[in-house]
Structure 1
Amino acid sequence: MNGNDRAGEFGPIYLPALQRIRDLWLELEPLVDETAYDDVVAPTELQISLSDGLGDAENARLDIQWSELGLYSFHYVDSNDVNWRFDRHPNTHSPEIHFHPPPEAATMDAEPSCIDVTEVSLVTRAVHAMWRTAYEDDALDRLNSASNPP
């Protein structure tokens, strides 16, 4: 997770949100290989490993943070080093809810996110829908293309 592009407070991690996100991905996505937290005692990140990635990537991982303030980061990286992120946090370079496009998910390339919802289950379903659309269409440009998913 690249937290250095945040301005202002992100807030403490909200574990019930990470648990809900994990449960939804397990329910929605057959390519989930495993899920884990970065720290079993005091988790700050949920990691979801996928058995396939976008394009010709052999596998992928989502690193997810959700704070008590309702701020989040869904960061995708795959075996081809393709990165993208859906984020909601204060910053100086883009709207609070934004998308960092592939392949680098560079801080200064952030653009407004197509995800307008803010509730944890809806955001999770929206990120999943965007990932699944890009996966099935083999098209990275589909990641931030929907009209207010899910």
Structure 2
Amino acid sequence: MSGDDRAGEFGPIYLPALQRIRDLWIELEPLVDETSYDDVVAPTELRITLSDGLGDATSARFDIQWSELGMYSFHYVDSDDVNWRFDRHPNTHSPEIHFHPPPEAATTAAEPSCIDVTEVSLVTRAVHAVWRAAYEVDTLDRLNSAPNPP
């Protein structure tokens, strides 16, 4: 995700949060194939690669950022070029906590997020829960409709 979508301060990346997110995904999701950081010395993004994706996708990846200010981005992209993301950051196009729906996750299509929690473990569990539910029923339609996950 580019910073072009952000209108206010996102803050520096908070590595302990990215480590917690990584550990939770590994614990919660059997389809986690690999985890990595974009830079081993000064990471700004956690990447979680999955061995399957939604619908006909054969693989998927979450690109995740979490800042010291509690701002975040969980960006999903898969082998079929389907994108969506849950974000929390200041902007001019939607509430601070919002969802960019599939298939493009367009900035202009942002809508209020079904995720109301803000603590790192709870947000991670919520994103995982909506992804897993969509995976199990094989639909993108309900990604942002869960009643206050997790």
Shared fold, TM over 0.5: yes
Residue 107 of structure 1 corresponds to 107
Cα distance in 2 for partners of 1:85, 1:105 equals 6
Residue 43 of structure 2 corresponds to 43
- Offset of residue 101 of structure 1: 0.2
- AA at the equivalent of 2:101: P
Matches within 5 A, 1:1-150: 1-150=1-150
Q: Percent identity?
A: 88
Deviations 1:65-96 (A, max 9, x none): 00000000000000000000000000000000
- AA at the equivalent of 1:131: W
Cα distance in 2 for partners of 1:4, 1:50 equals 27
- AA at the equivalent of 1:38: D
Q: TM-score, normalised by structure 2?
A: 0.99
- Offset of residue 2 of structure 1: 2.5
Q: TM-score, normalised by structure 1?
A: 0.99
Cα distance in 1 for partners of 2:16, 2:141 equals 32
Q: How many residues align?
A: 150
Unaligned segments of structure 2, at least 5 residues = none
Q: Which secondary structure state, in structure 2, belongs to the residue aligned with residue 126 of structure 1?
A: helix
- AA at the equivalent of 1:137: V
- AA at the equivalent of 2:78: D
Unaligned segments of structure 1, at least 5 residues = none
